Chain A
Amino acid sequence: MADPLHQFVIEPIVPLNIGGVDVSFTNSSLWMMASIGVSFVLFNTAMRRKALVPGRLQVLVEMFYQMVSDMVKSTIGPEGRRYFPLIFTIFMLVLMGNLLGLIPYSFTYTSHIIVTAALSFMIFLAVVVIGLARHGVHFLSLFAPAGVPVILYPFLVPIEIISYIARPITHSVRLFANMMAGHIMLKVFAGFSVALITTGAVGVAASAVPVLVNAALIAFELLIALLQAYVFAILACIYLKDTVEIAH
């Protein structure tokens, strides 16, 4: 059976070296560019007419806008307005990566931990830097919840710090693991049908079963693609909320 992990291999398309660092244009980069292209085409086509009564594409695009806008407003509050383009970019980048990855022969750049980790650490660093700049030392009160006896601080503060540092890790691993697991599953079932075909006439007929399972899995993966993009964006909102107000 073929290696289900082969789909995640990064293959250089145009070798590129800047200052001794290998930044080759790879299949991953290609699909990142594709997500830019699809976003451009989608948003430009949808907003071409700027209609008062929107058409289908415009409704779709406005739905994305409203969804992210509501998400930012409800989790961060009115002050979250300035983070809206950031959250929207993250949402569209992850969504496009997840969805384009479902095209056969494509590459899913969100199935790579380095990509999801880069996004989540960007949020994490932004929260820490903006939080310290805006609230100063008071930002550290995140680690000392109000209403807790001081005697518990030696236990509580380390736990709070650990859970705070775990945020970007869980944030990135959640998306990466979901994408990787889904794609491995698709590959494994595809591999079943290929293996069955080689076993003769009965095998050829039976190979339809894994294909049907895969069809169902693809539908499921579409849901996961949307859901994980949403989850990634809303977690980014929740973390960014710490820069706006500190509850305790």
Chain B
Amino acid sequence: MKISSAAIARRLSASAFCAVWFITAGMAFAAEDGGGHHADAVAHGGEHGGGPGLPQLDASTFPSQLFWLAVTFAILYLYFSRKALPEISGVIENRRERVQSDLDTAERLRKDAEKAQGDYEVLLSGARTEATSLMSKAVNTVKEKAEMEMAALREKGLEQIAALESQLTADKKKAMSEMDTIVAEAASQAAEKIIGIKADLGTARSVVQSLHRQEAA
């Protein structure tokens, strides 16, 4: 526990005040005693005739005490029951109600906040799933499209390859058939140059073709 110096000072001054007050009261009792000394003696000598009885047992004072006690009690009872106590209970009740209503408001606000939080979370998770599904849909669409295009491209490529291959085969055939002629020409020209025989081109081609056949066989 931490006590501030101001609090200590306040406590000290309160204690000092009490001490001074009590001591003053103590001295005042002594003064009262000293002052009343003579009157006391006179009173005892005169009134009570030196009787040592308790003043509380002096029955002659009873009616007066009872009367004024009844008056005091009646006044205090009326005052407390009609005014003071209803006022205090009103204030206390008022405070209790106020505190209760504040607590109720706080509770309501807390519930509202919790509900808002719940709504927000539901919304958020909904948005998240929606976003995920949209995303996957988009990805799928793109993928499908890409595959379709890819397939189209492949088909086209294959067609082109096929076209090229047939072209190539045709060219090759053509080139081969021309080759025979070239070979025959070259052979006839070579025969003419080497041995001086002017070979017939048609004969040369048939020779080449027969060679071809031999080779193929």
Q: Tell me if B89 is interfacial: C-beta within 8 Å of chain A.
A: yes
- Kindly provide the distance from the CB of A115 to the nearest chain B CB, expressed in whole angstroms: 5
Is there an interface contact between B33 and A21, defined as CB atoms closer than 8 Å?
no
Q: Which chain A residues lie closer than 8 Å to B61 at the CB level?
A: 10, 26, 28, 114
| Majority secondary structure of chain A interface residues (helix, strand, loop or mixed) | helix
Q: Tell me if B165 is interfacial: C-beta within 8 Å of chain A.
A: no
Residue of B nearest to A39 (CB): B76
Residue of B nearest to A84 (CB): B85
Q: Which single member of B36, B56, B60, B87 contacts A50 (CB below 8 Å)?
A: B87
Q: Tell me if A32 is interfacial: C-beta within 8 Å of chain B.
A: yes
Is there an interface contact between B30 and A26, defined as CB atoms closer than 8 Å?
no
Q: Tell me if B73 is interfacial: C-beta within 8 Å of chain A.
A: yes
Provide the B33-69 mask, 1 if CB < 8 A to any CB of A, else 0.
1101100100110000000001111101111111111
Q: Tell me if A187 is interfacial: C-beta within 8 Å of chain B.
A: yes
Q: Which chain A residues lie closer than 8 Å to B92 at the CB level?
A: 62, 65-66
Report if A186-B54 is in contact (Cβ < 8 Å); known contacts: A6-B36, A32-B69, A43-B84: no
Bound complex: CA of A52 vs CA of B62, how far in Å?
45
Residue of B nearest to A105 (CB): B32
Q: Tell me if B157 is interfacial: C-beta within 8 Å of chain A.
A: no
Which residues 138-184 of A sit at the B interface, judged by CB distance below 8 A? 176, 180
Q: Which single member of B68, B72, B73, B76 contacts A26 (CB below 8 Å)?
A: B68
Provide the A79-106 mask, 1 if CB < 8 A to any CB of B, else 0.
0000011101100110000000011110
Q: Which single member of A2, A89, A180 contacts B33 (CB below 8 Å)?
A: A2
- Kindly provide the distance from the CB of B138 to the nearest chain A CB, expressed in whole angstroms: 63
Report if A92-B68 is in contact (Cβ < 8 Å); known contacts: A111-B56, A194-B34: no
Q: Tell me if A199 is interfacial: C-beta within 8 Å of chain B.
A: no
Q: Which single member of B18, B70, B91, B98 contacts A62 (CB below 8 Å)?
A: B91
Is there an interface contact between B56 and A104, defined as CB atoms closer than 8 Å?
no
Residue of B nearest to A69 (CB): B89
Is there an interface contact between A212 and B69, defined as CB atoms closer than 8 Å?
no
One of B20-28, B125-133, B182-190, B193-201 at the interface: B20-28
Q: Which chain A residues lie closer than 8 Å to B95 at the CB level?
A: 52
Q: Tell me if B75 is interfacial: C-beta within 8 Å of chain A.
A: yes
Q: Which chain B residues lie closer than 8 Å to A214 at the CB level?
A: 22-23, 25-26, 29-30
The size bracket of the interface on B is: 35 or more
Bound complex: CA of A158 vs CA of B22, how far in Å?
48
Q: Tell me if A205 is interfacial: C-beta within 8 Å of chain B.
A: no
Q: Which chain A residues lie closer than 8 Å to B64 at the CB level?
A: 10, 12, 16, 22-26, 28-29
Q: Tell me if B153 is interfacial: C-beta within 8 Å of chain A.
A: no
- Kindly provide the distance from the CB of B14 to the nearest chain A CB, expressed in whole angstroms: 13
Q: Which chain B residues lie closer than 8 Å to A22 at the CB level?
A: 60, 63-64
Q: Tell me if B120 is interfacial: C-beta within 8 Å of chain A.
A: no
- Kindly provide the distance from the CB of B66 to the nearest chain A CB, expressed in whole angstroms: 6
Q: Tell me if B94 is interfacial: C-beta within 8 Å of chain A.
A: yes
Bound complex: CA of A12 vs CA of B58, how far in Å?
13
Provide a sorted-by-A list of 22 A–B residue pairs whose CB atoms are within 8 angstroms.
A6-B55, A22-B64, A25-B64, A26-B61, A28-B68, A29-B64, A43-B79, A43-B83, A47-B91, A50-B87, A50-B91, A52-B95, A65-B88, A85-B85, A93-B73, A187-B29, A187-B33, A194-B33, A214-B26, A215-B23, A218-B25, A219-B22
Query: Which A residues are closer than 8 A to B by beta carbons?
Result: 2-3, 5-6, 8-10, 12, 16, 18, 21-26, 28-29, 32-33, 35-36, 39-40, 43, 47, 50-52, 54, 58, 61-62, 65-66, 84-86, 88-89, 92-93, 102-105, 109, 111-115, 118-119, 176, 180, 186-187, 189-191, 193-194, 197, 207, 210-219
